[in-house]
Amino acid sequence: MNGRFPATRPRRLRRSEALRRLVAQTSVQPGRLVLPLFVKEGIAEPQPVASMPGVVQHTRDSLRKAAVDAVQQGVGGLILFGIPAVKDARGSAADEPAGIIQLALRDLTAEVGDDTVLIADLCLCEYTDHGHCGVLADRDVDNDATLDRYAAIACAQAAAGAHVVAPSGMMDGQVGAIRSALDQAGYPGVAICAYSTKYASAFYGPFRDAAEGAPRFGDRAGYQQDARRTTEALREAELDLDEGADIVMIKPALAYLDIIRRVADAVPVPVAAYQVSGEFAMVEAAAARGWLDRDRAIMETLTAISRAGADIIVTYWAAEVARRLS
């Protein structure tokens, strides 16, 4: 104190936007945002997703246009989810060369493949008739039989042009199985973004409408992580790195900022965070009622995720935010 007045005044650096911008220690960059896109087989028009305003299930045609638009806005990557017309117990459509995800990857490779990163979500829940992320033995997901399926899917996605595959099923050993399958099939350059730490979360609710992959019975608590656990995230990331992961992902983002920080401090590879459907829906729903300022809330959540240590952020707002930032 200097007499009655403080000698130190942190407010000095908050006096103008120019100052605040100069001293900002966190930034959200368009080139590090990834936009999720859904493509559905056998539809003639894009289908809106009721719980995700502005998000649609694309036709192949509308997907191409959405991808071009997102790339023009400056987003860094696209992550693709396919919804097949026919589902079965083993999720056959996931690795058929003419399966919807493979067709879409080929379309996008031709359209934007040189200008952006094409990431293929690699899971079975959109493709199985029971909605679980793997094949079943009795009523439980059979880990090791599922690894064979993931290996085949990875190769099909790589053949269709995926630059990165992103296994999201939380099976033990999935990264290693996929890495060796890709290498043997002649795709050593295809990277793996491992959903290393995927919590069993209520925030995936709207996604299950978008991707039509809700489990028909039971839940995913037997393979996704429990929200009460912490060090397991470090263990999963470490295992995935040993198995050959190039990027590790944490999901959801906002309710797991502490986990993003811990993983980011521990690993020497880029860290991605997935701002999931429920995080999106929560802000959109409140904003629609006039309960919060939508644009500010969006930027604040992305800033928080970046501040927690995420290098890459997957967000349904990627194209919009990229446009706003540029």
| Contacts to ligand PBG from residues 158-197, by CB under 6 A | 168-169
| Contacts to ligand PBG from residues 271-300, by CB under 6 A | 276-277
State in angstroms the smallest separation of the CB of 125 from ligand PBG.
5
How many residues make contact with ligand PBG (CB under 6 A)? 13
Interaction between residue 117 and ligand PBG (CB under 6 A)? no
d(CA 132, CA 216): 8
Interaction between residue 207 and ligand PBG (CB under 6 A)? yes
Structure tokens at 187: 């795709």
The binder of ligand PBG chosen from 121, 236, 240, 284 (CB under 6 A):
121
State in angstroms the smallest separation of the CB of 76 from ligand PBG.
18
Interaction between residue 120 and ligand PBG (CB under 6 A)? no
Residue with smaller CB distance to ligand PBG, 30 or 213: 213
Q: Are 26 and 303 in contact (CB under 8 A)?
A: yes
Residue with smaller CB distance to ligand PBG, 76 or 169: 169
Please report, as a single letter, which amino acid is at residue 140.
Answer: D
The binder of ligand PBG chosen from 28, 120, 123, 257 (CB under 6 A):
123
Closest CA to 266 of 236, 240, 234: 234
> Which residue shows structure tokens 């992959």?
213
Structure tokens at 305: 């995720």
Indicate the helix (H) or strand (E) that contains 263: helix 257-266
Task: Tell me the catalytic residues.
Answer: 198, 251
Residue with smaller CB distance to ligand PBG, 12 or 139: 139
Burial class (CB in 10 A: 0-12, 13-18, 19+), 22: exposed
Q: What are phi and psi of 257, to 5 degrees?
A: -60, -35
Interaction between residue 133 and ligand PBG (CB under 6 A)? yes
Cα dihedral 240, 223, 164, 183, rounded to 10, equals 60
Interaction between residue 38 and ligand PBG (CB under 6 A)? no
Provide the binding-site residues for ligand PBG, judged by CB under 6 A. 121, 123, 125, 133, 168-169, 204, 207-208, 213, 220, 276-277
